[in-house]
Amino acid sequence: MNIVYLNGHYLTTEKAKVSVLDRGFLFSDGIYEVISVYNGKPFLAHKHIDRLNHSAQAIGLLQPFSQAQWLRIFSKLLKLNQIKTENKSLYLQMTRGVDSTRSLALPKSHLKPTVFVMLKELIQPDYSNLSKGFKVITREDIRWKLCHIKTTALLPNILMQQEALNEGANEVLLIRDKKIIEGASSNVFIAKSNVIYTPPLSSSLLGGTTRALVIELAQKNKLSLQEKQLTLTRLLNADEVWITSSSRDVMPISFVNDQKIANGKPGPLWKKMHSLFQTHKNSL
Residues marked as catalytic: 150
Residue 153: how many other CB atoms lie within 10 Å: 15
Look at residue 95 and give its three-state secondary structure: strand
Q: How buried is residue 281: exposed, middle or buried, by Cβ count under 10 Å (0-12/13-18/19+)?
A: middle
Element (H, E) at 226: strand 225-227
SS3 52: helix
CA distance between the termini of the chain: 28
Sign of CA dihedral 197, 201, 203, 209: positive
The answer for residues whose C-beta is within 8 angstroms of residue 126's C-beta and 6 or more apart is none
d(CA 177, CA 38): 38
Dist. CA 84–CA 81, nearest whole Å: 9
Burial label, 145 (beta-carbon count in 10 A; 0-12, 13-18, 19+): exposed
**Which residue type occupies 17?**
K
